Structure 1
Amino acid sequence: MASVKCGHFFGYSCIARWIRSEGRNAVCPTCKSKATMKDVRKHYSAAVKVADTTEVEMLRNSNAALHIRISGLEVELARKDRELTELIKRLHDGKANRAVISVPPVVVQTRGGRMFMNPERKEALASGSANADARALDFNGEFWAVGVACSQARNIFSPFGIRMLTISRQELKLRECYPLHSGRSRVVVFSPFESSLLLSGGEDKRAIVSMNGTVRRQWKMPHEKPVWAGCWTAPDKVVLGLGDGRVFEYDLESDSTEPIREYTQGVGRLPIIFTGFDETTLHFAVTFSPGGRHPAISHRLYKLEVEDESDEVRCVEVAQWLTDCQMSSTMWSNCLFSLRSSLFFVAFNEDQQRFDAHDWSGRRTDVMIRFPSSSVVAAIRAVPTPCETRKTIVVLADKAIYSISFGLTDVVS
């Protein structure tokens, strides 16, 4: 028999033939982790005993989910007790009329309803059949920024850059393309403090802060690792997640090219492939790769609770969405958003080549829509519409941008 580095066992001839046939894209057939012939180890035994642990794993996952739910309810009960004690104290002190600023709660609708998704349009990012190699996008309220392959022949040393564009109900208008990178961009993030500042980074192992195509700061990543994720934490600070799972913070005002902080203490945490945060409710969703607590891709919803008196922040898991999707050949951006005081999640199911929508309150049945292309899905964003019951889901593929209408109805179909 033979094993690969993830620990799964196969017949030697079977796994060797599989890896050779798949070539550079070879993965473990069980957990989809990357595998090469160098990872194969032979094992010799007089006898082999095989046991089906599927039911045990299902029970273990169900038990873990119940423990998580119980922990969440215990924290919620403790918080309610503190709120009750505080209200009684205010009542006795004659302070019951004091205004209290709080985060709007996520309301679970008691009435029925359903979700729907309908395809709207497709707009090409490059002329003809050219591949734009798009992998990341962001929106600052006026312009979209998309990391693409620049078509200008003069960009021999920076063939990849940032394409600015606007999207309206009538048309998609391509604007300037700024050649900034020598590899595909995996991160494009506008600064929430200054909308003209843009953070970008990717496969060229560099991160750049630019304004209208002019480089303001740039950093070479430690250990020559590609940039996979990034965000702004302050007007002069950015945080970058690398391909090995490590997370670094950089200061725009510092003359040093070295990071000022590492969040992961030298240890990468690779199972997380997406995080999304909803500021209005202080909830965030996390997508985990197959393995660990669930054999397929799983999505979990967490809530941040801030204690005003002690400034203590607690993270509580409140729900989970377990899928049967096994494939995660690339990092994509799922989509978390609130609508009508409820939280919703749109994710790409790579196994079935479709988009799945989930209501975290559990009051609406999941809905699916087929992705009308074989292109690589790179990013998904929810954009507000004039209607309070609808969102526009913008999907970035490697060659084009797609839009999907997401909405709610109050009548159960």
Structure 2
Amino acid sequence: MEDDDAQQGGVDAPAQNRDANGNRNAGGRPNRHRRMIVSDESDNDDVNIIHRPKRRRVGIESADNSIHEDPAQNASEAGGGPSHSDSKSDDDGNQGCNICFEDYTNSGEHRLVSLKCGHFFGRSCIERWIRSEGARSSCPNCKTKAKMRDVRTHFAKSVRLVDNSELIGLQGKNHELQKQNKSLEVENSRMERQIRELRKKTEDASLMAVPRTTPVPNIRSIGNISLRWVQSLGLVSSNQITASARTFDFDGHYFAIGCGQPTNQLFGPSHGLRRLSATFNLDRAFVSLHTNRIRLIAFSPFDPSLILTGGEDKRVVISKFGNSKPIKAWNIPNGRQVWSGCWLSDTTVAIGVSDGRVWEYDMSSESTEPVRDLTDGLGRIPIIRVIRVTDGCVVICSMRGISCSYNQTLIPLLEHERDDFAKINSVAYEKSTEHFVVTFAPGKCNNGITHRLYRIDIHQTGANVQVEFVELAAVPTPYRVQESLCQSALFALSNGNLFSAIYNQDFQSIDVHDWNFNRVSARLQLQDGHTEADRVMEIRAIRGPTDDEKRIVALTEKKVYIVHFAITRNCDC
């Protein structure tokens, strides 16, 4: 009868559980001999009851007489250790109905149901419990208020519960760590911003502390030309021997100066760029690009943010100005040093090297090899200047001659044997008027340094092209000292008159040549104690406050000198 009562749900409450002698056991529960109930899928109420010791499992045995056991329990039984399921009591209904302590079925009166609080029971047991409790009925486990309408049937044939409490705990910890990580990222960004602000303040303070020497220059002027000393800026700190500055370029707002820092094996390249504004504020930031002295710097006229550099490390780099990461880089064939170069288009450049070749590279190409040789393999002497005049017209200047590559045809313009000169020291170009000033070293035909003014004329008749280098004026000088190459500057005023700023090594001065009168109209001798390390390497002329004023900027290995040029009164000069 006891089995029949259990099948029909005839257990009033857990308090009625007694042993075979009618006495309550010590735990308030019946003996641990439990029954496994296997019910058929049909709606037949006949149920087979099998008596055997209770095996703890989570879920329901399916109606096809298969037994679904908890893997965690099997592993525990096989290993002899306690499982996670065994560590919990039966109070939550994990091992069967918490009222009658029997297994659930998937059909019939003792099928699996739950209350709205989530605790599981057999249907017949929980309905009898709620009816017996009356209006004060509640969940036997958690005492949550429960009514008949709160009984919910579950229709699964079998249920296997996986213990994922550890996973849920780890997910919670992971969520907390993610929140902490985001908080730390915000804090890190704030600290980086503060570091940048402090670094900028430090650099500004260092900039204000840069010694701006103001020597007492010796200025001599002829006519209406005025030179006025502005200032000089040191490129290196006291612990550096030399900045090794050789060249620079100007994009209308900033100078890019190629200089070096002490070699450091840990931090890579020791030569790169520093920025100087048009108001002559020197940025202390140093952008490393090369491992040896830089001889080529050229801003792109098509995209001023791009800059072309090359040097004695036999490497060419295109990068964003201020960024040390190259956009494109090439190694020069045959391991030759880079001496000069220019932009031919928005994607192509021409590179003059020490063996007299001029290589054309295309940054849009995946190849690391040059596209062509603009000198047709005829070069031998280092290329000191490459100038783009127009589309398809490139002037190539070596120390022994000047030629023009016009639509990939090489045309000689000046040759040392034909035109009787020893060596070319400098070539300056004025784009708006397409004039050149060429400085020749002393030779058999001239005892001193000579400066000559040329204009390039291009005549095209059908398929025939004629390019001429027309000499307009010459200024011979008695000066003979020309121990190093120095790039001069050629500029025009608003009235079209041309002037040159040239370094005079005899006097260690900057001479201004007035090509309207073919004479030296002004001379500014640099400070006393001028040493070999301060020898001028390159001169540029940039816009001044008015159309008839210029700033002449001279670069040495260690310093930058700024001189103001102006016309003192109205005249025809």
Asked if TM exceeds 0.5, the reply is yes
Deviations 1:45-97 (A, max 9, x none): xxxxxxxxxxxxxxxxxxxxxxxxxxxxxxxxxxxxxxxxxxxxxxxxxxxxx
Identify the match of residue 332 of structure 1 among 454, 465, 486. 486
Q: In the superposition, relative to structure 1, how do residues 257 and 320 fare at CA in structure 2: closer, same or farther (>3 Å)?
A: farther
Q: Matches of residues 31-70 of structure 1 in structure 2 within 5 Å?
A: none
Q: In the superposition, relative to structure 1, how do residues 328 and 240 fare at CA in structure 2: closer, same or farther (>3 Å)?
A: farther
Aligned to 2:436: 284
Aligned to 1:321: 475
Q: Matches of residues 146-157 of structure 1 in structure 2 within 5 Å?
A: 146-150=257-261, 153=264, 156-157=267-268
Aligned to 1:118: 228
Deviations 1:211-261 (A, max 9, x none): 132212222223322212111121111112222333222222223333223
8 A Cα contact 2:244 2:260, kept in partner? yes
Q: Distance in 2 between matches of 1:195 and 1:183?
A: 25
User: What SS does the corresponding residue of 1:238 show, helix, strand or coil?
Assistant: strand
8 A Cα contact 1:114 1:364, kept in partner? no
User: What SS does the corresponding residue of 1:173 show, helix, strand or coil?
Assistant: coil
Between stretches 237-246 and 379-388, larger displacement belongs to 237-246
Gaps of 5+ in 1: 1-111
Between stretches 262-271 and 233-242, larger displacement belongs to 262-271
Q: Distance in 1 between matches of 2:239 and 2:506?
A: 25
Instruction: Say yes or no: does 1:305 pair with 2:457.
Output: yes
Q: In the superposition, relative to structure 1, how do residues 224 and 152 fare at CA in structure 2: closer, same or farther (>3 Å)?
A: closer
Instruction: Say yes or no: does 1:196 pair with 2:351.
Output: no
Aligned to 1:64: none
User: What SS does the corresponding residue of 1:356 show, helix, strand or coil?
Assistant: strand
Q: In the superposition, relative to structure 1, how do residues 300 and 125 fare at CA in structure 2: closer, same or farther (>3 Å)?
A: same
User: What SS does the corresponding residue of 2:443 show, helix, strand or coil?
Assistant: coil
Over 6 Å off, 4+ runs: none
Q: In the superposition, relative to structure 1, how do residues 386 and 215 fare at CA in structure 2: closer, same or farther (>3 Å)?
A: same
Indicate the RMSD between aligned Cα atoms, in angstroms: 2.5
Between stretches 378-387 and 224-233, larger displacement belongs to 224-233
8 A Cα contact 1:165 1:176, kept in partner? no
Aligned to 2:37: none
Q: Matches of residues 86-105 of structure 1 in structure 2 within 5 Å?
A: none
User: What SS does the corresponding residue of 2:283 show, helix, strand or coil?
Assistant: strand
Q: In the superposition, relative to structure 1, how do residues 398 and 365 fare at CA in structure 2: closer, same or farther (>3 Å)?
A: closer
Instruction: Say yes or no: does 1:260 pair with 2:414.
Output: no
Q: Identity of paired residues, percent?
A: 34
Q: In the superposition, relative to structure 1, how do residues 120 and 227 fare at CA in structure 2: closer, same or farther (>3 Å)?
A: same
Q: Distance in 2 between matches of 1:155 and 1:337?
A: 44
8 A Cα contact 1:229 1:242, kept in partner? yes
Between stretches 346-355 and 237-246, larger displacement belongs to 237-246
One-letter amino acid of the structure 1 residue matched with residue 556 of structure 2 = A
Q: Distance in 2 between matches of 1:389 and 1:139?
A: 19
TM-score (norm 1): 0.66
Q: Matches of residues 2-401 of structure 1 in structure 2 within 5 Å?
A: 113-128=223-238, 130=240, 131-150=242-261, 153=264, 156-168=267-279, 172-211=281-320, 212-264=323-375, 265-268=377-380, 269-270=398-399, 271-291=423-443, 293-307=445-459, 312-339=466-493, 340-362=495-517, 365-372=520-527, 373-374=530-531, 375-401=534-560
Q: In the superposition, relative to structure 1, how do residues 290 and 223 fare at CA in structure 2: closer, same or farther (>3 Å)?
A: farther
Q: Distance in 1 between matches of 2:289 and 2:539?
A: 23
Deviation at 1:364, TM superposition (A): 6.0
Q: Distance in 2 between matches of 1:220 and 1:286?
A: 30
Q: Distance in 2 between matches of 1:222 and 1:351?
A: 38
Q: Distance in 1 between matches of 2:504 and 2:257?
A: 23
8 A Cα contact 1:248 1:261, kept in partner? yes
Q: In the superposition, relative to structure 1, how do residues 224 and 355 fare at CA in structure 2: closer, same or farther (>3 Å)?
A: same
8 A Cα contact 1:393 1:403, kept in partner? yes
Q: Distance in 2 between matches of 1:357 and 1:155?
A: 45
Q: In the superposition, relative to structure 1, how do residues 336 and 147 fare at CA in structure 2: closer, same or farther (>3 Å)?
A: same
Q: In the superposition, relative to structure 1, how do residues 404 and 153 fare at CA in structure 2: closer, same or farther (>3 Å)?
A: same
TM-score (norm 2): 0.49
The count of corresponding residues between Structure 1 and Structure 2 is 299
Q: In the superposition, relative to structure 1, how do residues 209 and 354 fare at CA in structure 2: closer, same or farther (>3 Å)?
A: same
Deviations 1:84-138 (A, max 9, x none): xxxxxxxxxxxxxxxxxxxxxxxxxxxx943222221011112235222111111
Q: Which has the larger radius of gyration?
A: 2
One-letter amino acid of the structure 2 residue matched with residue 403 of structure 1 = I
Deviation at 1:266, TM superposition (A): 2.7
Deviation at 1:299, TM superposition (A): 2.0
User: Which structure is richer in relative contact order (CA contacts within 8 A, separation 6 or more)?
Assistant: 1
One-letter amino acid of the structure 1 residue matched with residue 440 of structure 2 = F
Deviation at 1:328, TM superposition (A): 2.9
One-letter amino acid of the structure 2 residue matched with residue 159 of structure 1 = S
Q: Which has the higher strand share?
A: 1
